[in-house]
Structure 1
Amino acid sequence: MPNRSFLPLALLIALTPPAFAQEQASPSDPQAPAGAAPEVPNADALFTAFVQSLRPRALAEGIKPATFDRETAGLTFNPRVIRADRGQPGGPATAAQGPLDFAPYRRSHVDQAHIVKGRRLYNSLADNLARFERETGVPGKVALSIFGEETGYGSFTGSYDLLRSFATLAYDGRRRELFTAEFIATLKLIDKGFTRDELKGSWAGATGYPQFLPSTYLRLAIDGDGDGKADIWTSTADALASIAAYLREAGWKPGTPWGVAATVPNDFNRDSVKSPLVSPRCPRVHARLSRWLTIAEWKAKGIMVAGFPGPADGELASLIEPDGPGQTAYLLTSNYRVILDYNCSNFYALSIGVLADEVARQTQAMPAADAAN
């Protein structure tokens, strides 16, 4: 897994380790589960005092005093955020057993609606996507697929006020340093000229078309359309360029597919390829993946590449059978792990790769005029 000094965005979205251990990606703006809000004595006064205690640090990091005072005036605790945070699915961070049952997820996330809209954008943004690929090495189809999966190609991005969410989560205390840093990063965006109305997102603070955390925006956001501003909230070109920049920094290997469909012989010895490694991050997700072998070594074991383009014979890959023996398997390169860095879910990463390939395949299979319709 690439060395990361910042958290992935799509989270990112959920952020608690048990949620990362789940095999299903979290939605960008989940509804808070029903239940009473946590009761805290003198909550309003305690919350206000906590927020004000952040002022010295914010100013030390360059936030304008007027910005801090204006934006925190009247800021209130949001119990809905805490209900959402505590209501996430979880479980022991141990290796899960049995197949993932990926097929139903694939049908709903790599459906014709996603493909058709992706195909239209792939065709209309072809020049931009090609430029971003030249600059980052990340295929435009992969960046576009993430855009489609994260926010339905920009159709939903979340409605929570970021500053209020981060203040609430920091006050709650379970990941105080993380959310305090994001609270201050949000203030930095406001100092850059963004408004609170623009800075909306998921309950956990993922924002914009790519669902970046504010700190990720500050590190990686790119002006993809050349207007002098990296606007991931309204500019598709900026969002796609920024997603490509994210994947590049996460370690994307240019010229290498994310993976390829494969078939596994009935007599294959799966125990012989189990990985002895335990990932320090979302171990249940990585436990689904076999040890690394070259494509040539997989072929020698009887694994047949069933998709196109396939990785070179010398490329290292791991095997996953998301729907169990006898169903479609995948040989996954290091670029698959980069997609996991964006959102650590095998459901998510597989759907990104499959959608990207299908959008490109269908676009190339028809005239440009038809692809735009």
Structure 2
Amino acid sequence: MLRIWGAGAAAILAGIGAGSANAQVDPLAPMAQPAAATYAQYAAPTSFEGYKYQLMARARREGVRESTIQAYVPPISLNRRVMELDRSQPGGPPNSSYIPPFSPYRRQHVTADLIRRGQARYTSTYSSLNRIQARYGVDPGVLLAIYGHETSFGAVTGGFDLLEALASLAYEGRRREMFESEFVSALKLIDLGVPRWRLKGSYAGATGYPQFMPSVVVRLRADGDGDGYADIWGSEADGLASIANYLRNAGWKPGLTWGVVVRVPSTLNRAAIRSTLQAPRCQRVYARHSRWLTVGQWRALGVVPVQSGLTDRDVATLMEPDGPDGGGFLLTNNYRAILDYNCSNFYALSVGLLANAITRR
């Protein structure tokens, strides 16, 4: 299992804040490799200097300006630290069914400090958040919760050189196609006028306040402060608007909560509500969700919301992150939009809970 961490991950463990980068990568996607493969088998067949010519050729085919290619690809150096970090990502055996408890993760990612700073940001950016909500329909609390998770509210955005990091990961070869494509997208950002010095981020290539991968920056960055330019590195309003644009693009529905806490009866027949749908991605994530029922149908089964936010006509899935005795949540389509940002149930739940705390729901 591959999980790509963002700039804020170290900050969480150090108690500075929360952050796990939205690298826009499916963290549960299987590697296209035999079980006994070693990283050496994925190295490019040439030296890194030779491999850069392959990157230049691909960039040329995909329409990057020749002047950009010549100015910025030849000077790139191989970053072995990036490769070491990629190889040391956490993850159990690929066929392991073990799922850690949610409670410790929640304590680390929904902290009193993050709540306090999120509430302060909510007050100081209230006008911007209202404008963004009117335009995109996304809950401001969720925007701030993602912002807090990804970069500790802008404090930890990453200092790795993006071109160097992406070229090194592409050369390593474990996910060559993805990282080559992101490398070319980073060059396209330069063509679009983004200064070369702005291209800093996590070792995995996530950048800016939203911790977008370069291809997502190209597609979905947004102007939130009205100056006509979408600057996700220097404008907090642009960063928040870009997160909102991403979530809307992922299917966020205005006026709908992400989910609610529920009481689940011990007599619930969980086999009868098991989903039979096969998710096209993140199968282990979605496998933990029940089938869709209306809230009225859940009430009839004894699953009762303990907070407001959903009507009996709304549809939701049930998830019990810590098992039958650990409490449950009814989750809506908007929870799925958060999962699109980072395909982890723990991430999405903690974003929702932090959002509720920030906006005092």
TM interval, short-chain normalised: 0.7 to 0.9
Which residue number in structure 1 is paired with residue 358 of structure 2?
Answer: 359
> Which residue number in structure 2 is paired with residue 83 of structure 1?
84
Structure 1 SS opposite 2:23: coil
Q: Deviation string for 1:123-169 (max 9, x for gaps)?
A: 11112111111111111111111101111111111111110111112
- Residue 316 of structure 2 aligns with which residue? 317
What is aligned with 1:10?
22
Distance across 1 between alignment mates of 2:44 and 2:104: 43
- Report the residue type matching 2:51 in the other structure: F
Match of 2:35 in 1: none
- Which structure 2 residue ranges, 5 or more long, are not aligned? 1-20, 32-37
Q: Secondary structure at the match of 2:212?
A: coil
Matched with 2:343 is 344
**Counterpart in the other structure of 2:278:** 278
Number of the residue aligned with 2:17? none
Give distance in 1, aligned partners of 2:26 and 2:86: 7
Q: Which residue of 2 aligns with 1:24?
A: none
What is the SS of the residue equivalent to 1:361?
coil
Change (3 A) 1:352 1:335: same
With normalisation by structure 1, the TM-score equals 0.83
Question: Residues 302 and 187 from structure 1, CA distance in 2 versus in 1: closer, same or farther, beyond 3 angstroms?
Answer: same
CA distances 1:91-129 after superposition (whole Å, capped 9, x unpaired): 56669466x421121122111111111111111111211
- Asked whether 1:186 is paired with 2:186, we answer yes
What's the counterpart of residue 6 of structure 1? none
State the alpha-carbon separation in 2 of the partners of residues 319 and 333 from structure 1: 9
CA–CA separation in structure 2 for the residues paired with 1:167 and 1:131: 38
Alpha-carbon distance change, 237 to 83 in structure 1, aligned in 2, over 3 angstroms:
same
Q: How far, CA to CA, are the matches of 2:269 and 2:114 in structure 1?
A: 36
The alpha-carbon deviation at position 39 of structure 1 amounts to: 6.6
State the distance in 2 between where 1:13 and 1:109 align: 20
Task: List aligned pairs for 1:138-149, cutoff 5 A.
Answer: 138-149=138-149
Letter in 2 for 1:355: L
CA contact 1:166–1:179 (8 Å) conserved in 2: yes
Matches within 5 A, 1:18-97: 46-91=47-92, 96=97
Aligned-partner residue type, residue 358 of structure 1: A
Change (3 A) 1:14 1:256: closer
Contact persistence 1:336–1:349 (CA under 8 A): yes
3-state DSSP class of the match of 1:262?
strand
Distance 1:341 1:93, change over 3 A: farther
TM-score, normalization: structure 2?
0.86
Q: Which residue in the other structure is 2:224 paired with?
A: 224
Identity within the alignment, %: 49
> In the alignment, is the contact (CA less than 8 A) between 1:95 and 1:287 conserved in 2?
no
Q: Is the 8 A contact 1:320 1:329 kept in 2?
A: yes
- Inter-CA distance 272–43: structure 2 relative to 1 (3 Å threshold): closer
| 1:34 match | none
Residue identity in the other structure for 2:207: T
SS of the counterpart of 2:198?
coil
SS state at 2:318 partner: strand
Instruction: Show the 5 A alignment for 1:153-168.
Output: 153-168=153-168
Q: Matched residues in 2 for 1:18 and 1:156: separation?
A: 29
Superposition RMSD on alpha carbons, in Å?
A: 2.4
Map 1:95-134 → 2, pairs under 5 A: 96=97, 100-134=100-134
Higher deviation after alignment, 248-257 or 47-56: 47-56
Q: Counterparts of 1:123 and 1:308 in 2: how far apart (Å)?
A: 23
SS of equivalent to 2:211: coil
Letter in 2 for 1:332: L
TM alignment of 1:165-244, pairs within 5 A: 165-244=165-244
Aligned in 2, Cα 1:154/1:44: closer, same or farther, shift over 3 Å? farther
Contact 1:262–1:329 (CA<8 Å) still a contact in 2? yes
The one-letter amino acid of 1:89's match is P
Q: For 1:185, what is the secondary structure of its paired residue? A: helix
Distance in structure 1 (CA, Å) of the matches to 2:83 and 2:130: 42
